[in-house]
């Protein structure tokens, strides 16, 4: 018996650690069966949000149902993993605890604690690379350093051979539901004095049950207002297949236009690991083969490659965070004097509400609240607006995204924010400041996206929407009385932003 600890890999298929624990990967007769467990860790929940808890619970329900269809189930425990996992391993008489690596700083600290706890009770443990195609140490510069420039990283990333999807464990290679229930009973309510009581977490005493998922309220969270969308491997596969059937062949051409719905919307599935990245990549290779056939336009292969490039961005930021865990809160680029952010609370609040008077910005911020998602181009626009029009610290934006995005991923979110704020690895140069009106006009010419999320502007012609900042108060009142006037003047703020960055760089 081996205990397999699910974390950000809520799937049974293409799961490297699970395949190893179950003895499926190499057909190792002396391994498995695998007993799958998810642990609600109070320390992790401290950083969660209503949206992400809902999304997590949906993903766990789908995973549990997958296991149930195979005669197994999902153990669901609560408490500090350092206390819970040794007890579960003992109750199951497990030889090993196996998991897939999580590369963020906090996760690594947690895993180090779990390793020590398991060593103390002589239970073996094993960690696998699973979340990315190339682990964060695998691709380095010729001088042996981690990459900080994406284009060079991409060249190596794309040239490297990729692993095939890991095989899904057979039904026999999974612990049966009765065995899991016995183990849960043995752990449930055991004395917590040496466990997490001192943490005062969600529920200090370790508890375990089979397939019994808590509600958000049990964990101290509320149901979010946003619709977090479908979850689970079946939904992820369906979405990927739909996307690769047609949209991918126009991906490069259309991905920047938010009204087109031209992107995969796989991000939350990838974040929770409901689809394996090897499986997703293999499917893109099949699409590439089709793109190279005569049936598709000449530029189809580039369109597919552009999509593969996004998967590589995800891995690029994973390795940036892995090698620089401090970037979660610190600028990657250390400006000598530090940037003197203005941080006006009212302006930041208007940005969060989607009431800046800049239509494309407001549409994005409202999409975020409604769908727990925002289109990539619009993420870039709203992030530029917060940092370079409102002169507000990117960390305000990062925190807000962290709270409201279902796909919030520390590495990608941080990478995106530091890119926009010109403080990151391969960032937008500080003097490149998006003009929110031009961006809206270019990428949402008919204001279709804007009108979807900003109902006050639905009856207004696109031309007027894109000139909103230039209209007189009377014109604005006539066109859309309920929609606000711009809260700042972009041209003025642009100059102020340039001065702010130059001061920080000692260039003024």
Query: Among residues 264 and 439, whose Cβ is nearest to ligand FAD?
Result: 264
Contact 373, 412 (CB under 8 A): no
Using rule CB under 6 A, residue 147 touches ligand FAD = no
Query: Among residues 72 and 264, whose Cβ is nearest to ligand FAD?
Result: 264
Residues 6+ apart with CB under 8 A from 310: none
Using rule CB under 6 A, residue 271 touches ligand FAD = yes
Query: Among residues 121 and 330, whose Cβ is nearest to ligand FAD?
Result: 330
Which range, of 266-274, 319-327, 357-365, 424-432, touches ligand FAD by CB under 6 A?
A: 266-274
Query: Among residues 8 and 379, whose Cβ is nearest to ligand FAD?
Result: 379
Say how far apart CA 402 and CA 410 lie, in whole Å. 8
Contact with ligand FAD (CB under 6 A) among 78, 179, 352, 379: 379
Find out whether 311 is annotated in a ligand binding site.
Answer: yes
Using rule CB under 6 A, residue 468 touches ligand FAD = no
Using rule CB under 6 A, residue 274 touches ligand FAD = no
Least distance (Å) from ligand FAD to the CB of residue 333? 16
Using rule CB under 6 A, residue 86 touches ligand FAD = no
DSSP 234-246: HHHHHHHHHHHHT
Find out whether 398 is annotated in a ligand binding site.
Answer: no
Residue whose CB is nearest to ligand FAD in the complex, by number = 416
Site string for ligand FAD, 298-327 (x = CB under 6 A): ------------xx-xx--x----------
Using rule CB under 6 A, residue 263 touches ligand FAD = yes
Using rule CB under 6 A, residue 201 touches ligand FAD = no
Query: Among residues 179 and 402, whose Cβ is nearest to ligand FAD?
Result: 402
Find out whether 308 is annotated in a ligand binding site.
Answer: no
Residues 6+ apart with CB under 8 A from 53: 45, 216, 219, 221
Least distance (Å) from ligand FAD to the CB of residue 261? 9
Using rule CB under 6 A, residue 15 touches ligand FAD = no
Say how far apart CA 403 and CA 429 lie, in whole Å. 27
Q: CA gyration radius for the chain?
A: 24
- Taking the CA of residue 402 as centre, how many other CA atoms within 13 Å lie in the half-sphere pointing to its CB? 17
List binders of ligand FAD among 409-448 (CB under 6 A): 409, 412-413, 415-417, 420
CA distances from 88 to 107, 177, 181, 206 (A): 20, 15, 11, 10
Q: By C-alpha distance, which of 121, 120, 117, 125 is closest to 81? A: 117
Contact 208, 62 (CB under 8 A): no
Query: Roughly what angle, to the nearest 10 degrees, separates helices 376-384 and 410-420?
Result: 50
Least distance (Å) from ligand FAD to the CB of residue 267? 3
Contact 129, 19 (CB under 8 A): no
Q: By C-alpha distance, which of 122, 123, 121, 102 is closest to 2? A: 123
- φ, ψ for residue 216 (rounded to 5)? -55, -40
Interface residue list for ligand FAD (CB under 6 A): 255, 263-267, 270-271, 310-311, 313-314, 317, 376, 379-380, 383, 401, 405, 407-409, 412-413, 415-417, 420
Annotated binding site: 251, 263-267, 307, 310-317, 407-409
């Amino acid at each position: 018996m081996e205990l397999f600890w699910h974390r950000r890999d809520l799937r049974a298929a293409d799961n490297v650690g699970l395949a190893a624990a179950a003895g499926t990967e190499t057909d190792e007769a002396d391994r498995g069966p695998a007993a799958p467990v998810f642990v609600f860790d109070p320390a992790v929940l401290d950083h969660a949000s209503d949206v992400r808890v809902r999304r997590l619970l949906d993903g766990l329900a789908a995973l549990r149902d997958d296991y149930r269809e195979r005669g197994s189930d999902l153990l669901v425990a609560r408490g500090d993993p350092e206390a819970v996992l040794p007890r579960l391993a003992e109750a199951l008489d497990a030889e090993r605890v196996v998991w897939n690596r999580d590369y963020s700083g906090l996760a690594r600290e947690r895993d180090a604690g779990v390793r020590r706890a398991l060593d103390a009770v002589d239970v073996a443990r094993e960690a696998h690379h699973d979340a990315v195609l190339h682990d964060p140490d695998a691709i380095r510069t010729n001088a042996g350093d981690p990459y900080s420039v994406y284009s060079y990283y991409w060249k190596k990333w794309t040239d490297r051979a990729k692993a095939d999807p890991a095989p899904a464990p057979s039904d026999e290679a999974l612990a049966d539901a009765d065995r899991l229930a016995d183990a849960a009973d043995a752990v449930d309510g055991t004395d917590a004095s040496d466990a997490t009581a001192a943490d005062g977490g969600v529920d200090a005493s370790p508890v375990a049950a089979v397939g019994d998922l808590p509600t958000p309220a049990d964990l101290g969270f509320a149901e979010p207002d946003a619709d977090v969308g479908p979850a689970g491997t079946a939904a992820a596969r369906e979405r990927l297949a739909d996307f690769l059937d047609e949209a991918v062949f126009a991906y490069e051409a259309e991905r920047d236009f938010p009204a087109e719905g031209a992107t995969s919307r796989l991000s939350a599935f990838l974040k929770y690991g409901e689809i394996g990245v090897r499986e997703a990549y293999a499917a893109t290779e099949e699409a590439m083969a089709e793109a190279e056939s005569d049936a598709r336009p000449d530029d189809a292969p580039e369109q597919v490659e552009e999509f593969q490039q996004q998967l590589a961005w995800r891995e690029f930021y994973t390795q940036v965070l892995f090698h620089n865990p401090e970037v979660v809160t610190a600028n990657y680029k250390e400006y000598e004097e530090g940037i003197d952010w203005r941080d006006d609370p009212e302006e930041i609040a208007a940005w969060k509400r989607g009431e800046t008077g800049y239509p494309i910005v407001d549409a994005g911020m409202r999409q975020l609240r409604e769908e727990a998602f925002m289109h990539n181009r619009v993420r870039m626009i709203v992030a530029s607006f917060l940092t370079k029009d409102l002169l507000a610290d990117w960390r305000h934006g990062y925190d807000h995204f962290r709270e409201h995005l279902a796909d919030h991923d520390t590495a990608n979110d941080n990478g995106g924010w530091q890119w926009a704020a010109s403080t990151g690895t391969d960032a937008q140069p500080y003097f490149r400041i998006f003009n929110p009106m031009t961006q809206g006009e270019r990428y949402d010419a008919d204001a279709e996206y804007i009108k979807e999320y900003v109902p006050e502007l639905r009856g207004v012609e696109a031309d007027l929407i894109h000139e909103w900042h230039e209209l007189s108060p009377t014109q604005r009142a006539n066109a859309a009385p309920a929609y606000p006037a711009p809260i700042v003047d972009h041209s003025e703020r642009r100059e102020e932003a340039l001065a702010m960055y130059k001061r920080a760089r000692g260039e003024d």
